[in-house]
Every structure is written in structure tokens, then in C-alpha cells.
Amino acid sequence: MASAFGHALVAITAGKSFFREPTFKFVFWGCVCSVFPDLDVIMFNFVPYEHFFGHRGFFHSLVFCLILAVIIDFFAFTKERNSGRIMRIIYLFLCGASHGLLDMLTSGGLGIAILSPFDDNRYFFPWRPIKVSPIGIAHFFSQKGIRVLKSEFVWIALPCVACYLISVFLRKRSS
Ligand SMILES: [Zn+2]
């Protein structure tokens, strides 16, 4: 996994860059979708890593992210149901999908079952510059955790800042 910080930053950037004045609630649930797949680490207690429901398995797939987006839209946006629903589901889905895609850029662990349940092979991108994040908070606050944050600063934070600044520039130019 990339760290929860890295995943959430992508969701915040997408919300702030591609939507005009997104609400806190909107971006918050985007962040939830972006970090949610890593809750599958609890599956280490029940099934092997490479299992369909193991870490980086079905719960990291695009299909699961779509299901999660629809469920969150249904339960968390009851008042806004008929307002901007399709765009909201697309945003929530993309936040979840960004999780698996970022993990495919990480340097360790098993690959990601991004196409599950249609294809249960685990995939990485050919280029993997992001240092894989240690599992567990105690391990995260260590030398390894600092190395992870450094690599995420370069490969996640800087591109996010660039994306946001470009969106601000384009918005100002069009208004
Ligand atoms: Zn992950």
C-alpha cells in the first residue's frame, strides 16, 4: 500500500480540482473511498495474502470500488440524493480506484487484483517508484515510514499540488 496520507491526498486533490466548491462532506467521503480498500488487512487473520479476499485482492478491485461508491452515495447522501448523483458516484468511484492504481506503483508486496472478479491475477505497473508502506501504525513511525513519506512526497504530493494549481489557473482563465 501507499500510506493512508497518500491515498487521501489524491481524493482531496481530485475533489478540489475537478469540482467547484466541493463540500467538506463530499471530500470526506472521497477520502473514505480512497483509504477503505486497505481495511482488507484484517483478512490476514482469516485467509492467505494471495486469496481472492486477501489483502490487495477483490477489495482493491475496480468492481468493489464501484459497489462502495454506490453504497456510500446511498447511505451518506440521503438529503442530496437527486442532486449531482452521477458525478458524485463517479468521484467516489475514482477515489476508490485511485487506491488500487497507486498501489500498483508501489515497490513491494503482492500485486493488485484490480480487475477482480473477472481476472484474479495480481498486477503491478512496470514502473514502481513509490516505496511500499509498512502495515500497522507502529511500523509506520520508523525509518522505513520516513522513507515512504519521502517517496510519496515526490510521487504523490508534488503531482497533486501541480494538478491543483493547474485547475486553479484554468478556472481563473475561464472566468
Ligand atoms: Zn492498498
Amino acid 136: pLDDT: 66
Across residues 88-104, what is the average pLDDT?
Answer: 97
Residues with CB under 5 A from ligand 1 (ion): 1, 38, 103
The 3-state secondary structure of the chain reads CCCHHHHHHHHHHHHHHHCCCCCHHHHHHHHHHHHHHHHHHHHHHCCCCCCCCCCCCHHHCHHHHHHHHHHHHHHHCCCCCCCCHHHHHHHHHHHHHHHHHHHCCECCCCCECCCCCCCCCCECCCCCCECCCCCCHHHHCCHHHHHHHHHHHHHHHHHHHHHHHHHHHHHHHHC
Average pLDDT over residues 74-95: 93
Ranking 36-50, 58-72, 110-124, 136-150 by mean pLDDT, the lowest is 136-150
pLDDT by residue (tens digit) across 12-68? 999 999 998 899 999 999 999 999 999 999 999 999 999 999 999 999 999 999 999
Tell how far the Cα of 61 is from the centroid of ligand 1, in angstroms. Answer: 10
pLDDT band per the 50, 70, 90 thresholds, residue 109 = confident
pLDDT at 138: 63
Q: State the pTM of this model.
A: 0.91
Separation of 140 CA from ligand 1 center, angstroms?
15
CA 103 – ligand 1 centroid, Å: 6
